[in-house]
Structure 1
Amino acid sequence: MGELTVFNGSNDHKCHFVLVPLMAQGHMIPMVDMAQIIAARGALVSFVTTPVNAARIRPIIDRVKSHGLPIRFVELTFPCAESGLPEGCENVDLLPSMDLTRPFFDAVSLLRGPFESFVRDVEPVPSCMIVDYCSSFTAGIAQEMDIPRIIFHGPSCFYILCFQNLWEHKEYHEVDEFEPIVIPDMAQQVKISRAQAPGWFPGPDWKEVRDKAMEAEVSAQGVIVNTFHELEPEFVECYRKKIKKPVWPIGPFSLYNKDFTSKASRGKKSSVDERQVSSWLDSKETRSVVFVNFGSLVRTKVCQLIEIGRGLLASNRPFIWVLKEEEECCPEFRQWMSEELEGMEAGERSLVITGWAPQAVILSHPSVGGFVTHCGWNSILEAVCAGVPMITWPHFADQFLNEKLVVEVLKVGVDIGVRIPVYMMKENEVSVKGEAVEKAISRLMDDETDEESKERRGRAAKLAQNAWKAMEEGGSSYENLTRLIEYVSESSKLA
């Protein structure tokens, strides 16, 4: 176990928060943001990570050091070999096959021993643990040491409520997996099928992991959610009443990163020069560019990639398209790209990024007018903060319910028409044709002539204003963080 102390101040802080993320980009990035937000309010933070993940967030560690924030990055050795994982597979997006996801969670549970040693030895004594919903191994340690433990939920209150209400609904477990069912006890009607809403850990192989996570949530003292009250007020209140515990919406965390450098360094190191991306965007008209990015886990089939490309070209709009390295290097797709994308006209209006893209930088640029997204919650929040309307293309996990929130509740998105998760599709099956991509872009972007599109963009702009206000001093999220720190401080005095 190693420890990287990145501040030179004393340990004389009112509270000491220990943050334990799940080692997956969509979970780590918001918790790194959260660590900085809490530390900026004067609390000491110990952020638990592993060597490979620490290397990936090195730019953030360096920035924290330069700002003098009271954050310690603690490296625990990740037990790859003991769990049957290839060496270095310390993050979900590094797994060579999604079949290794279950062994990965076995490895996560084995972190209990080194984590307990750290918690027992560290000074000052932790005032509180903030742990990812998936980090159930922390529950017993917190209970034994009488340390308050707060769950961090990555998705929205809307999603958590939908999932819990479905799980408790007997009929949900008995209907055909493709039959739409009305989710009970929601503030407005929401329909979903079992195939679209499998929860965090679907299938019998995940029963032990699922049960432990649910038990750990029940025994926690409260919940932190990366959302803000004005985004989903009725669902925040319903969730608070349902669990009868404190719920602290203190996001959007990404707004802590206000300047260009901070936005560019979120997550892994970008595979492109962020300044070149900004320069390319500067050459485009306001709200003219379509941005396509499906997150860190989705691997799109070649046949589907070609359809996406055809739709983008047919839209006659400039676009930025983010690809995985394994997608871009496929011979069939490379040939298509050389024939269709590398011509002079297409090249002038297309920018293809292979690898990790500076998404927050791109979305916040005034030239970006629409975002084709996989509906990961972090991506949705970044689009909300930038006031960019979305084309929703969910793939699995929480993404279909996130789509419902964006399209049906917030009304800031257009549904592209996906009905089944990617893992239920055949090998060479295409879920969305190029024509549907072109049509969705047209619906989203034609706000000069289409009243519905204009109203959608207006709602998106209003949400962005509310998001920024929530994080400012006196805003709802700022005040909720104050209440959280006060709660932990009082709990520490009673311990």
Structure 2
Amino acid sequence: MPESELRRGFRCAPRADYFAAVAGRDHVVIFPFMAKGHMLPLLHFATALSAQHGRLRVTLVTTPGNVAFARSRLPASVGLVALPFPSFPPLPEGVESTDALPCPSLHLTFMQATGLLRGPFAEFLASLPSPPLALVSDFFLGFTRRVAADAGVRRIVFNGMSCFASAICKALAASPPTSFEPGTMIQVPGMPEHVAVRAEEVPDGVTKRADPDNPFTRFFMDEIGDSDVRSWGVLSNSLDALDAAYVSALESFYETGARAWLVGPLFMAAGDMPDGEKKEQDPEGCLSWLDERAAHPGSVVYISFGTQAHITDVQLDELVHGLVQSGHPFLWAVRSDTWSPPVDVGPNNRIVRGWVPQRSILAHKAVGGFVSHCGWNSVMESLAAGKPMLAWPMIAEQHLNARHVANILGAGVRIALKVGADVVGSAEVEEKVRELMDAESKAAKRMRERAVWAQQAAKSAVSHGGTSAMALLKLVEELQETYDDGVVGKCANSV
């Protein structure tokens, strides 16, 4: 279909008879937010759902600019629908994913643009021969709850966060402390006694929630509102062993009967294992470089800060100095195309600029630790590989993830982020990298033991009869029962 036609109406792929009429509700529609970190878990969820429920049809909804990314990561059994991405100046034409935004200041504009997908999405649901069993959609796509409710379809919300971080954010938004003065320790209402956080660890979206002049606050109030908590359930890319203690606190913010479904790690549930037969693309040759160091297991530290955070050249300078001074070999995925290291990194270290197969890198026996921004996807990948982390959070709920990993799970150490300081110095980097990587130290041994424990827990969760595997099965069963029994009261997306 020509691009012009693709933008005028939604496109279905890959089979011409994909939406042939069938009896009953045997169809799940999945609609991720257009950001790589949000899309990937739901692509894995679609794959896992299709594989475990062979009679269930699964369709993923996205926009034309994201079709190639999605299709390359989905089996043929999962259908794809492309809704035309709306024109919304000053958002540049052709930008259909947050990683393509020319500057961070356009992030809110991008979210506002996605709200205009409501009409095309409603038309798509109306075009189906029968209503789906469920809609699974991203937290940021708040309009989808009302569309699903109008179509008589249960909506399950996905926000990409752990139960731990989600429950803290909701609790502090509902019952904020007297102040969020930096350095203050906050006991989180409704959470277990051991959960206390520093004020500076709380995301801006929570601390500024009471500010009616904040544009993000207005967007959440106007466009998302209560669509999250009025959903039938919440999908979590986590597992009981890590998050069970915080499930009841999270569920308390949803309507009576709603449940949190812990079905992760989703890339493992989908069978997308880095040590399996399917090899990830490796254009930078990272894995062959690591193979040359395999004789020294756990010797290499891997560094990556994801796709969203912007790091200044000054900070990159301090970081590379600290890495070199630590004396540990490193593999570093740098996003900047313009920054150049001010020091010779030597033959035992490597800086790469392009795409890297992160899960395969973390699974490699030469890698002993991960310096990370602590996005939840990266946390799950590191723990599933049994690798401890040096937590260096930057935005959103990453500070809470860092506390979860280092202070509660004990599978990492945190970089010292001083209040008011814009740059972490090279001496701090050197010290913390050594703490992470010096295998003979008591602290490092403990971190590695806890990371290996998490790895075993993740494998168990997605195995036959494991907690995540059973949750995925029961999710579909309970959805079917609510329709079969004519139940409409159980958080049925009432309008």
**In structure 1, what is the equivalent of residue 60 of structure 2?**
47
The Cα shift of 1:106 comes to 1.0
Distance 1:259-1:288 versus aligned 2 partners, 3 A rule = closer
**In structure 2, what is the equivalent of residue 317 of structure 1?**
328
**In structure 2, what is the equivalent of residue 111 of structure 1?**
117
**In structure 1, what is the equivalent of residue 448 of structure 2?**
457
Residue identity in the other structure for 1:470:
A
8 Å contact from structure 2 (residues 71, 80) kept in 1? no
Distance 1:121-1:283 versus aligned 2 partners, 3 A rule = same
Counterparts of 2:224 and 2:38 in 1: how far apart (Å)? 15
For 1:445, which of 429, 437, 442 is the aligned residue? 437
**In structure 1, what is the equivalent of residue 273 of structure 2?**
258
The Cα shift of 1:260 comes to 5.3
Counterparts of 2:241 and 2:215 in 1: how far apart (Å)? 38
The Cα shift of 1:139 comes to 1.6
Greater share of helix residues, 1 or 2? Answer: 1
Runs of 4+ residues deviating >6 angstroms:
none
**In structure 1, what is the equivalent of residue 70 of structure 2?**
57
Distance 1:193-1:404 versus aligned 2 partners, 3 A rule = same
Residue identity in the other structure for 1:444:
L
> Does the residue aligned with 1:34 lie in a helix, a strand or coil?
helix
Distance 1:312-1:175 versus aligned 2 partners, 3 A rule = closer
Residue identity in the other structure for 1:121:
S
> Does the residue aligned with 1:171 lie in a helix, a strand or coil?
coil
Q: Does 1:3 align with 2:20?
A: no
8 Å contact from structure 1 (residues 201, 209) kept in 2? no
For 2:107, which of 80, 85, 101 is the aligned residue? 101
8 Å contact from structure 2 (residues 169, 202) kept in 1? no
Identity, in percent, stands at 31
**In structure 1, what is the equivalent of residue 191 of structure 2?**
186
For 1:434, which of 426, 430, 441 is the aligned residue? 426
> Could you list the per-position Cα deviations for residues 197-227 of structure 1 after superposition, in whole angstroms to 9, with x for gaps in the alignment?
3237956112232224341012211111110
* TM norm structure 2: 0.88
**In structure 1, what is the equivalent of residue 474 of structure 2?**
483
* Structure 1 unmatched runs, 5+: none
Number of equivalenced pairs: 461
- Where does 1:33-432 land on structure 2 (aligned, <5 Å)? 33-41=44-52, 42=54, 43-61=56-74, 64-65=75-76, 69=77, 71-79=78-86, 81-172=87-178, 174-176=179-181, 179-187=184-192, 188-194=194-200, 196-199=202-205, 202=208, 204-211=214-221, 212-241=223-252, 243=254, 244=256, 245-255=258-268, 256=270, 257-258=272-273, 265=280, 272-273=282-283, 276-284=285-293, 285-324=296-335, 327-330=336-339, 333=340, 336=342, 339-341=343-345, 346-347=346-347, 349-419=348-418, 429-430=422-423, 432=424
> Could you list the per-position Cα deviations for residues 434-487 of structure 1 after superposition, in whole angstroms to 9, with x for gaps in the alignment?
111111111111222x12221221111011011011001100000001110101
> Does the residue aligned with 2:177 lie in a helix, a strand or coil?
helix
Counterparts of 2:91 and 2:402 in 1: how far apart (Å)? 33
Counterparts of 1:178 and 1:152 in 2: how far apart (Å)? 31
Distance 1:444-1:489 versus aligned 2 partners, 3 A rule = same
The Cα shift of 1:103 comes to 1.0
> Does the residue aligned with 2:81 lie in a helix, a strand or coil?
strand
Distance 1:35-1:262 versus aligned 2 partners, 3 A rule = farther
Counterparts of 1:170 and 1:238 in 2: how far apart (Å)? 16
8 Å contact from structure 2 (residues 31, 135) kept in 1? yes
Residue identity in the other structure for 2:323:
L
Counterparts of 1:9 and 1:363 in 2: how far apart (Å)? 41
8 Å contact from structure 1 (residues 392, 403) kept in 2? yes
The Cα shift of 1:90 comes to 0.7
The Cα shift of 1:418 comes to 1.8
* Structure 2 unmatched runs, 5+: 1-8, 487-495
8 Å contact from structure 1 (residues 129, 149) kept in 2? yes
Deviates more, 1:97-106 or 1:182-191: 182-191
> Aligned-pair RMSD on alpha carbons?
2.3
Counterparts of 1:261 and 1:8 in 2: how far apart (Å)? 32
Counterparts of 2:388 and 2:358 in 1: how far apart (Å)? 15
